[in-house]
Amino acid sequence: MQSNRAARRGGLAALAALTALTVITGCSSAGDGNQSGAGDGTGPIEIWAHQGNDAEVAALQATVDSFNSSQSDIEASLRLIPADTYTQTIANTPADKLPDVLDIDSPTLASFVYNQKLSPLSEYVDQTTIDNATPGSIAEGTYDGELYGLAQFDAAIGLLGNRSILEAAGVTIPTSVDEAWTADEFADVLEKVAAVSPSGKAIDLREGGFSGEWGTFAFSPLLYSAGGAILEDGRASGALDSDASIEALTTFASWKPYVASGQDGKAFPSAQVGLLWGGHWLYPNAKAGLGENVVALPLPDLGNGAKADAGSWTWGIGASTQNGKATGVFLDYLLNDDNVNAMVEANGAPPATQSTFADASLYQTGGDLALWGEQLAKACAADAVTDACVSVYRPMTPGYPTITARFGSALAAVYRGADPKTELTNAAQAIDSNFADNNDYK
Amino acid sequence: MTTLNLRPSAVRRRLAAARDYLIMAVVAIIMVAPIYYLIIGSFKPSEEVLNGFGGFLPVNLSFDNYLAAFEALSSDATGYFWRFFFNSFVISFVIVVAGLIVNSMAGYAFARLNWIGRDNVFVLIVLLIIVPFESIAIPLTWLMSGQRDTLFVQMIPFIGNAFSVFLFYTFFLNIPKSLEEAARLDGLGSWGVFLRIVVPNAKPAFATVAILTFLSSWGQFLWPLLMTSDPAVRPLPLQMSVFSGQLPPDWGEVFAFGTLLVLPVLIVFLIFQRFFIQSVAGSALKG
Amino acid sequence: MAESALAPAIAASSSRFRRVRRPRSNRDDTAGILMSLPAVLGLIAFIAVPFFAAVALSLFNVQVNQIRPAVFVGLDQYIRLFTDPVVSGAFLRSLLNNFVFAIVVIPVQTGLALLLAVLLNRKLRSVRFFRTFFFMPVVFPMALVAVIWRLILDRSSDGLLNSSVSFITGGLVPAQDWLGSSATALGSVILLSIWQGVGFQMVIILAGLQDIPEERYEAARLDRANGWQQFIHVTIPGVRNTLIFVLLLTTIMAFRVYDQAYILIRTGGANENATQTVLYQATNALSADNNLGRASAISVFLFVVVVIITLIQRRMLRQRSED
């Protein structure tokens, strides 16, 4: 009985170990089999996209429908996945089960390339389409010298102000990026605006999302503005935990007494607070609530010029498509002026093709968001930040998921009273340790 | 005992009852307040949900949030609300029914039958109760990668359930042995005893396991997130992030969707609540 | 169900499962194996095998998608959980949070459930009405519970809890950041977890109470025992085994806390340091660090911890029952 039992246990363990090993070796070789094929440019193609707001969904669906009725060779079908779980869904889906065309949250593009989930675009997309992309679109779609993504629209980040409240507070209102409030001025502005705002608070930072992507998207530019950075030569230590970066988050945490909790986003559009740290997608709602009182402002300047993030969703081709030509035809269509204009009309975003951006009245001189348009025109990559550039794209590295998780955690902790130096040092070490564990993602 | 002695005790009893009612009323208010908040909020515009005590007031009520929730899930691309609902229902139904069959059989085999290796296998089952699903999810996705985007893959891993086996096992130990022994003397085999004697006497156990399994499979999130992308097979809870994922979320719509998500369970609960609670109460759990 | 019939069940769940020693001639090998086979096979295939795979994976430096080949590192992942400053700080804090959660929730939730069950068992009028309300939160999925409570606990004066506190104290207590402050964050998570879970334990205990024969109370009253003495000497011993069952179940649940922590940290502004749990660390290792080896090591470690705690609890309870 005893030996019987032992034998059975041993057998079970051996079986399990064998399964585990099969699983490990089986999957490590599975990645090699994904080869995209050009196909003959006809047939069905599948498209996955995140489910944004209703207007965006309608615009995208209209594009797909009109594409299908404009020609008879290719039949495109669209699948929308909730935005909140979209990136996870792509990450969870093996490369050979991904669709022909998919949209990607641009900072995660490098990690999808690393995980062999995307095909380079240049083979399939028309060169004129590529040439028409804005520098920002190329920047956020390029990894390791290869183009993997092209965007319909970019993102503009900045402050939105309520002109009557700001005037009542008696603060100067910046009219260009160069006039951005300094750290001291901004502290003063917050105090004065809070004093005249009906809620007693000055600003909505949308703090509920600090631990998620919003934290990195909205507040990592403060590091650059203070002279710090997230990475320097591929290392977070010495950049993310530098004195300048610590200074930036210390300043950031000092704003808390003036911040409305903002869980439902109503504080700014209903004139309960005078300022909103946000982006283009919040403008339509603010405009509806406040009308001509809405004014676009630069983010505060912590010393090295105001900096703001940029980059949004971009379109790529699945690594295992067997219909590459057809995907190229679709992307050319998706990125033509009509479809880009329809999309930015729906979501208020700055267009990411040169021909449409030139005509985007909202972002050109005289438009409500012209100041944010100016920011986008002065763009640079995260590893080439200068005093003159304003829009800084997030770091293009397969390790981005760990960067954003660590930065978001540190940001949220500092905001709630933790020591900036400790938090940033821990975050920097965790990021570097992750890169080391993964052989620097080479 | 004289009447003089009874009187103060009657007063005391009334006071005790009053105290009990007071405690129960306070607890009941605390238990129901969040639910009321959810339901009333689902009929209100988002900005009136988070509004202090104002969030409690039934003002500005409309079905707009419900219409918006249906509207957001009403095309081939997004999938249809009723389809998600149907998927959740089918998945839960199959897990419950198949789970009742296989887990009750196993529970009986462990409780009453004498077979080789039984005790060792039972130790394994008890240990498996402790394994959290989160810790095995990734290896499980590899084992099941061939069945991605099916209803099948969302059911099969959850049919055999260690906790259900344990509950049946505990309950079957309670059924008087004399019943079974009499049946065996009448010539029934193990299967006959199980089907004719044990199952009919174990309705509360079946009800309890059915309810617990339904609750957990209706709310599933992680596994379908890992294994599905096709709206034709996705369950309802995954789609909640259509509403809660946007920043800022539209709380009215989130609450409307949340209400629709919990409503089937809540209705079943309210209609069958007597049976519901008594079965949970009257089952093997009391062991 | 009669008290006598309950005895074996009690023995099974609270101390050790019962080993029926029947004569060798009286075996049901075929039926036993066939009847248990479907469930056992399913559990082995879908839980045991993936779990053994997790044990194997915990010995490797391995990515989720395995773009880099897995590297065997022995027990390094486990050692790093405790010694690597980058990993151990958050991990040990998570472990501590789980223990605090367990130490608070187990007695408080069980005590509250017992109180409610005793009140319901007094068979006052409209008890059914109250019982319905007490049980209702149990049917709510935790994902939805977290969303509702994040609004209730909002740090602005618009939060339901803040406006209630302000109302009750006449405005003396200012609005609190219940989820964000390190002092109250874990307490808030505990509060909403108890809200959701207490009804379930209540009905289990209620079932136990209903099995206590009325004669015992009568006998106690003849001995002039007052209400409290009846509670201590009749009620508690009467539901002792039920309470043990509830205790073991709650312990397992307390170490599995995940959904509410994840949702509240990611979207509700909860204090991450104060509310992260071990399973949160495990999923973080996957989603943020692409480190399947570490995630597996954390899971395996958690499993071992819960097994050990359960064994200790059983031993302590058994000893006490033998006294």
Please give chain A's pLDDT, 442 residues, in tens. Answer: 444 444 444 444 455 555 555 555 444 444 444 578 888 889 999 999 999 888 999 999 999 999 999 999 999 999 999 988 899 999 999 999 999 999 999 999 999 999 999 999 999 999 999 999 999 999 999 999 999 999 999 999 999 999 999 999 999 999 999 999 999 999 999 999 999 999 999 999 999 889 889 999 999 999 999 999 999 999 999 999 999 999 999 999 999 999 998 778 889 999 999 999 999 999 988 999 999 999 999 999 999 999 999 999 999 999 999 999 999 999 999 999 999 999 999 999 999 999 999 999 999 999 999 999 999 999 888 888 888 899 999 999 999 999 999 999 999 999 999 999 999 999 999 999 999 999 999 8
- pLDDT score, position A7: 46
- pLDDT score, position B275: 64
Measure the CA–CA gap between C112 and C119, rounded to whole angstroms. 11
Q: Which domain holds residue C293?
A: 77-316
Q: How many residues does chain C have?
A: 323
Q: Do A54 and B71 touch (CB under 8 A)?
A: yes
Question: In which element (H, E) is residue C303 found?
Answer: helix C292-322
Q: How far is B257 from chain A (nearest CA, A)?
A: 14
Surface of C (69-108) touching A: CB under 8 A: 69-70, 84-87, 89
* A413 near C CB under 8 A: yes
Matching residue, tokens 């359960």: C310
Q: Do B238 and A88 touch (CB under 8 A)?
A: no
* B88 near C CB under 8 A: no
* A402 near C CB under 8 A: yes
Measure the CA–CA gap between A28 and B147, rounded to whole angstroms. 19
Complex ipTM: 0.89
- Whole-prediction pTM value? 0.90
Provide the 10 A C-beta neighbour count for residue A113: 23
Alpha-carbon distance values, C63 to A194, A271, C288 (Å): 48, 48, 11
Band the pLDDT of C132: cuts 50, 70, 90: confident
Q: Do A263 and C67 touch (CB under 8 A)?
A: no
Q: Are B231 and C153 in contact (CB under 8 A)?
A: no
Q: Do C124 and B17 touch (CB under 8 A)?
A: yes
Who among C17, C122, C143 is closest to B20 (CB)?
C122
Q: What is the mean pLDDT of chain B?
A: 88
Q: Do C35 and B106 touch (CB under 8 A)?
A: yes
Residue C18, burial from CB neighbour count under 10 angstroms (0-12, 13-18, 19+): middle
The DSSP output letter for C65 is S
Where, residue-wise, is CATH 3.40.190.10 in chain A? 4-155+311-359, 157-310+396-441
Q: Is residue C32 part of a domain?
A: no
CATH code, A157-310+396-441 = 3.40.190.10
Residues of chain A in contact with residue B37, where contact means CB-CB under 8 angstroms, are none
Q: What sign has the CA pseudo-torsion A136, A141, A147, A151?
A: negative
pLDDT at C6 over 60: no
Q: Do C177 and A416 touch (CB under 8 A)?
A: yes
Question: In which element (H, E) is residue A333 found?
Answer: helix A324-334
Where, residue-wise, is CATH 1.10.3720.10 in chain B? 80-286
CATH class (in words) of the domain with range B80-286 = mainly alpha
Who among C39, C116, C132 is closest to B165 (CB)?
C39
Q: Do C267 and A416 touch (CB under 8 A)?
A: no
Question: In which element (H, E) is residue C61 found?
Answer: strand C60-61
- pLDDT score, position A1: 40
What is the number of structural domains in chain C? Answer: 1
Domain at A4-155+311-359, CATH from 3.40.190.10, 3.40.50.150, 3.40.50.2300, 3.30.540.10: 3.40.190.10
Q: Is residue C10 part of a domain?
A: no
Q: How far is A293 from chain B (nearest CA, A)?
A: 20
Per-residue pLDDT, averaged over B247-268, amounts to: 88
* B155 near C CB under 8 A: no
Q: Is residue C21 part of a domain?
A: no
Q: Is residue C46 part of a domain?
A: no
Reduced to 3 states (helix: H, G, I; strand: E, B; else coil), residue A44 is strand
Residues of chain B in contact with residue C160, where contact means CB-CB under 8 angstroms, are 33, 37, 52-53, 55-56
Task: Show Cβ contacts of residue A430 under 8 Å, excluding neighbours closer than 6 positions.
Answer: A402, A406, C86, C87
Q: How many residue contacts between A and B have a Cβ separation below 8 Å?
A: 96
Residue A308: strand pairing partners: A391
Residues of chain A in contact with residue C69, where contact means CB-CB under 8 angstroms, are 28
Per-residue pLDDT, averaged over C24-46, amounts to: 89
Q: Are A221 and A244 in contact (CB under 8 A)?
A: no
Residues of chain C in contact with residue B38, where contact means CB-CB under 8 angstroms, are 144, 148
What stretches of A165-263 adopt beta strand conformation (E)?
Answer: 203-204, 259-260
Among C258, C300, C306, residue whose Cα is nearest residue C279: C258
Residue of A22, A27, A235, A416 best to disrupt the C interface, most CBs of C under 10 A: A416
CA-based nearest residue in chain B for residue C10: B287
- Biggest CA-to-CA distance, chain C: 78
* Mode of pairing for the β-strands spanning A118-119 and A313-318: antiparallel
Position with higher pLDDT, C23 vs C60 = C60
Surface of C (220-279) touching A: CB under 8 A: 265-269, 271-273
In this prediction, what percent of chain B has a pLDDT beyond 70? 91
**Six-digit token pair at B24?**
């129960």
* A433 near C CB under 8 A: yes
CATH number for the domain that contains residue C237: 1.10.3720.10
CA-based nearest residue in chain C for residue B135: C299
Alpha-carbon distance values, A265 to A277, B39, B95, B242 (Å): 11, 21, 40, 17
Q: How far is B200 from chain C (nearest CA, A)?
A: 15
Between C127-135 and C85-121, two packed helices, what is the crossing angle to 10 degrees? 170
Residues of chain A in contact with residue C53, where contact means CB-CB under 8 angstroms, are 16, 19-20, 23
Who among A31, A260, A409 is closest to C67 (CB)?
A31
